[in-house]
Chains A and B, each alone.
Chain A
Amino acid sequence: MEVAVARKRKNSSKRWKMALLFSMAALLFAGIVYTFLVLNHDPSFVKLTERLLPISPEHPLGTDHLGRDVLTRLLLGSQLTVGYGLAALFIAVIIGVPFGLLAGFKGGFADRIFMRIADVFLSFPDTLVAIVLSGLLGAGIENLLLAIVLVKWVSYSRLVRSTVLTERQKDYVMIAKINGLRSSRIMIKHIFPHVIGNVLVLASLDLGKIILLISALSYIGLGAQPPAPEWGAMLNDARPHFQSHPQLMIYPGLAIVFIVLMSNLLGDYFRDKFDVKKEVGN
């Protein structure tokens, strides 16, 4: 019966989402190919005689206020923004998952301590933590990364903990125990795989949020610093020229929308795939 339910879900009118996801993936792939094969501009090469040029074969998206090629900066910026987003996500997962496993499996005192720590971290809004950390440690993308990890790891721990709590009450854990398996073995072999799907769903949905956060904070000058072609920083650079050359703001803006949308679609796809019925927290 469960199989039937899952199949019903898959056949619902979600096809356009898949189509969109695939076309975006294709576009992304084209971007990557272009970056490696065609791109021949230096993203930081300033040429003031060629500033604010319109679209041309030489500069497919024109140049910015310092004469730098916009497409080059956009494509290399994607490596920066998405790369740092993925890095932050990866570190948050690496820290969060083991904590959640331990808290959920051990229970008792360790779990209570963990929950209080989690509450403390959850009580800070992520933007605020990032601003405070930048104030304390100085602006820079590494500190921004640190701030994101600090606020994000908790949600992974909590997700993993709740999954472990439900799974460890099932009979197969009892059977594994009564057959003499060690707790660590039960945790890794019998419980951990349940966690992977949920974490993947949350992570792919989170990627969009993290990228938005990186861009937002770079925009106000707390993340990537000027010569770096980060999208948020590019938006900030384009701000004074918004009225005369709005395209300079539209390109990085569209790029952010593109990546965030893609991450959300990917998250939806994973959710359908793993059929996660539980609510995935924010």
Chain B
Amino acid sequence: MNVLTVNHLSVTGKQHTIVNDISFQIQAGEWFALVGQSGSGKSMTASAIGQLLPPNLQATGEINYAGSDLLALRPSEMREIRGKRLSCIFQDYQGSFTPFLTIGRHFEEYQQRHLDLSKTARKQQAKQALVSVGLSEEMYTRYPVQLSGGQLQRVSIAIALLLKPDLLIADEPTTALDSVTSFKVLELLSRLQGETGCAILFITHDLRHVRKYADRIAVMKDGVIIETGNKDQILNHPKHAYTELLIQSSPSLRTMRLSAEGALR
């Protein structure tokens, strides 16, 4: 069953086309990776799904979610879907939090908007969410600046998954984290996906993050999806030269050693 079907989506500015006629489907509960280098239009695709494009960009085509076209929804209808059915985590963990509100206040804001719970129940739920991402309950009263990058990204995951959305858009969530922390965050995402059964649209430029977790991969270049398929198929038998280049250029310790040997020879 498809959670989200994107048909012939294009994102255009005044003079140029950023995303050009792309189509893909995301199935319920799968980890769908959208891979490509910077400027390939990955993030704009994600923004179009959330109706979050900057006002100077126009999206055309169809984004089908649960029988309705997200691009055609009115702002009030879109607000109902956002947060509850669809949520987001970003690369910039520090900027994802309003600096003068405590972590608890952030939870409160979204709980008050979508849930009808008592104050103690809200607090309880938020603290449980913090524990479920491996943080202590004390974080509830802390301010965003008091947390480390990895902790903040965990909190944003906890907030994003609080209302059990069907689809989580993760826009390069690990790019700004060091490799150990990003590994932990990915593990966490994968575990929570197993628990909540949400689909993840994972946007990244780095195939290393995709290798272990993704079910299916779409490779994007210059606003076009050039290849879509299962992880193994894409990684082991890339049809497109660019995909091969991406795989080649993704640094791993093993290949680096090989190329160093090559250079010595």
What distance in Å separates the Cβ of B140 from its nearest Cβ neighbour in chain A? 18
- Chain B positions within 8 Å of A177 at CB level: 50, 52, 82
- The CA of A175 and the CA of B99, in the complex, are separated in Å by 13
What CA separation (Å) do A170 and B98 show in the bound complex? 9
Interface stretch of the complex, out of A19-27, A63-71, A138-146, A178-186: A178-186
Q: Does A18 contact B (CB under 8 A)?
A: no
In the assembled complex, the Cα of A180 lies from the Cα of B88 at a distance in Å of 11
Cross-chain contact B79 with A182 (CB below 8 angstroms)? yes
Q: State the Cβ distance, A198 to closest chain B Cβ, in Å.
A: 14
B-contact 0/1 string along A98-116, CB 8 Å cutoff? 0000000001100000000
Q: Given A181-B113, A182-B79, verify A176-B88 contact (CB < 8 Å).
A: no
CB neighbours of B67 from chain A (8 A): none
Measured in the bound complex, the distance between the Cα atoms of B52 and A83 in whole Å is 47
Q: Is residue B84 contacting chain A, with contact meaning CB distance below 8 A?
A: yes
Minimal beta-carbon separation of B219 from chain A (angstroms): 25
Tell me which of A108, A179, A181 contacts B87 (CB under 8 A): A179
Q: Is A278 an interface residue (CB 8 A)?
A: no
**Which residue on chain B has the smallest CB distance to residue A173?**
B98
**B95 proximal to A (CB < 8 A):** yes
Q: How far is the CB of A258 from chain B (nearest CB, A)?
A: 35
A189 B87 Cβ-Cβ under 8 A = no
With contacts A179-B109, A181-B110, A181-B113 taken as known, whether A171 is within 8 angstroms of B92 at the C-beta atoms is yes
The answer to whether the Cβ of B212 comes within 8 Å of any Cβ in the partner chain is: no
Q: Which residues 63-117 of B sit at the A interface, judged by CB distance below 8 A? A: 79-84, 86-88, 90, 92, 95-101, 109-110, 113-114
Q: Does the CB pair B86–A178 fall under 8 Å? A: yes
A190 to B90, CA, bound (A): 18
What range describes how many residues of B lie at the interface? 20 to 34
**Within 8 Å of chain A (Cβ to Cβ): is B159?**
yes
| Alpha-carbon separation in the docked complex, A180 to B55 (Å) | 18
Compute how far the CA of A221 lies from the CA of B20 in the bound complex, rounded to whole angstroms.
Answer: 69
Taking the closest CB of chain A, its distance from the CB of B103, in whole angstroms, is 12
- Contact B98 A190, beta carbon cutoff 8 Å: yes
Contact yes or no, A178 B87, CB < 8 A: yes
CA distance A178 to B95 in the complex (A): 14
CA distance A182 to B114 in the complex (A): 11
Q: Check if A55 is an interface residue, CB within 8 A of chain B.
A: no
Interface flag for A174 (CB, 8 Å): yes
B90 adjacent to A179 (CB under 8 Å): no
Q: How far is the CA of A182 from the CA of B159 in the complex (A)?
A: 17
CB atoms of A171 and B95 under 8 A apart: yes
Given contacts A171-B90, A174-B52, contact A179 B100 (CB under 8 A): no
Chain A residues in 8 Å Cβ range of B86 = 178
B96 near A179 with CB under 8 A, answer no
Q: How far is the CA of A177 from the CA of B79 in the complex (A)?
A: 8
Q: Are A179 and B52 in contact (CB under 8 A)?
A: no
A179 contacts B101, CB within 8 Å? Answer: no
Contact A193 B100, CB 8 Å, known A177-B82, A178-B88: yes
Q: Is the CB of B113 within 8 A of A175?
A: no
Q: Which residues of A contact B153 (CB under 8 A)?
A: none
Most chain B beta carbons < 10 A, residue from A108, A172, A185, A189? A172
Q: In the complex, which of the residues A170, A180, A190 contacts B84, with contact meaning CB atoms closer than 8 Å? A: A180
B114 engages A180 (CB within 8 Å): yes
**What A residues does B98 contact at CB under 8 A?**
172, 176, 189-190
11 contacts between A and B (CB under 8 A): A171-B90, A172-B96, A177-B52, A177-B82, A178-B52, A178-B83, A178-B86, A179-B109, A179-B159, A181-B109, A181-B113
- Nearest 8 A/B pairs, CB to CB: A180-B83, A179-B83, A171-B95, A180-B82, A178-B88, A179-B110, A190-B98, A172-B98
